[in-house]
Amino acid sequence: MLKIGIIGCGKIAEVRHAPEYDENPECELVAYYDVNPERSQLLADQFGGRVYDSVEALLASGVDAVSVCVANNMHAAVSVQALDAGVHVLCEKPMATTPEGCREMVDASERAGKRLMIGLNQRFAKAHARAKEILDSGELGTVISFRTNFCHPGPEGWTGKLDTWFFDRRIATFGVMADLGVHKTDLIHYLTGQSVVATTAVLGTLDKKMPDGSPVTVDDNAFAIYTMETGAIGTMHVSWTDYGSEDNSTRIYCTGGVLRLYDDPEYSLIVETPDGVERFALDQLTSNKEQTSGGRTATGVIDAFVESILTDSPSIADGTSAVHAMDVIFANQLSSELGRSVRLAEEA
């Protein structure tokens, strides 16, 4: 039985990590740490286990693995500390706030011989997994272009705080481009089996305000045009200002037809070809809305992490693949600052 600790006991720990560990028969939640001890105590009361008063004390308690669910600016430091202590790490996205931080995490994992996984849960959604099988089979030919969107009303609804740290550049470092864009960039890498080789991006702060009326200090909308290795081209729009129904959809346009993913309220996967249309109701993506409605969709991330430890093999959201998506996010920031296209080699 794997002994699990959680470092950072906020919203994502409460609604995804802790319940999914609790449901996995191969592991036991035994340890929690948060700079705010009330948060760690709440999880211990609900799921069992002990509260510790420092990261060091938690890591010395005999845990096999930890989830790192702190704010963005501490992901790399806490993950490296845990790996150096010989503990497997599942770190939330965005992986780290600098390219060096991402690579230090991978290096620490290799040095320690311990698993490093990043919470890129879009890879585990059923329609995405099926789409990957279809694309890999070649039955739709090759990818010509795509568009992928991730737009919701913003993180203040998720955290329940109008002045959430997600809006504070000193803690979040990034805005929506990294917060939501890393999910969709990674998804495009995963589905197409190709890397983004060039990007033209624009990041903007268009509407989000702090409670005092001042604009937030990070981007609330971001747009990118991606060129892939084969020359396929696609767009990504991520937004924290979709005040209607959320848009978490992707379309992949291939030589033999079109894949529509989470693009229809009823059918999570639609395959359109010149011969006809096939519709599949596989699942719904995890969303911020379900947290307020009381429902919960398992992400599959925790089960994959536990399995990757038990089998000593990389999961499909291993740290090494997450670095590539982060490199594109850093290139998007550079492109927006420079006002021109950026090739990924420039960023590396």
Ligand X SMILES: NC(=O)c1ccc[n+]([C@@H]2O[C@H](COP(=O)([O-])OP(=O)(O)OC[C@H]3O[C@@H](n4cnc5c(N)ncnc54)[C@H](O)[C@@H]3O)[C@@H](O)[C@H]2O)c1
Residues near ligand X (CB under 6 A): 7-13, 33-36, 39, 69-72, 74, 92-93, 119, 121, 158-159, 165, 179
| Greatest extent of the chain over all pairs of C-alpha atoms, in Å | 62
CB of 81 to ligand X, least distance (A): 10
CB of 332 to ligand X, least distance (A): 17
Nearer to ligand X, 14 or 64 (CB): 14
CA 84 distance to own-chain centroid: 23
Nearer to ligand X, 172 or 196 (CB): 172
Nearer to ligand X, 12 or 134 (CB): 12
Bridge partners of residue 202, in order along the sequence:
223
CB of 108 to ligand X, least distance (A): 17
Question: Nearest to ligand X by Cβ — which residue?
Answer: 10
Nearer to ligand X, 198 or 203 (CB): 203
Cβ-contact 32, 52 below 8 angstroms: yes
Cα separation, 20 vs 39, whole angstroms: 18
Nearer to ligand X, 34 or 220 (CB): 34
CB of 33 to ligand X, least distance (A): 6
Q: Cis link prior to 94 (omega < 30° from 0)?
A: yes
CB of 299 to ligand X, least distance (A): 7
Cα separation, 298 vs 235, whole angstroms: 28
CB of 303 to ligand X, least distance (A): 15
The DSSP annotation for 11-55 comes to: HHIIIIIHHHHHH-TTEEEEEEE-SSHHHHHHHHHHH--EE-SSH
The DSSP annotation for 314-328 comes to: --TTBHHHHHHHHHH
Cα separation, 61 vs 73, whole angstroms: 25
Bridge partners of residue 247, in order along the sequence:
151
CB of 68 to ligand X, least distance (A): 8
Cβ-contact 226, 136 below 8 angstroms: no
Nearer to ligand X, 36 or 245 (CB): 36
Cβ-contact 307, 90 below 8 angstroms: no
Nearer to ligand X, 33 or 267 (CB): 33
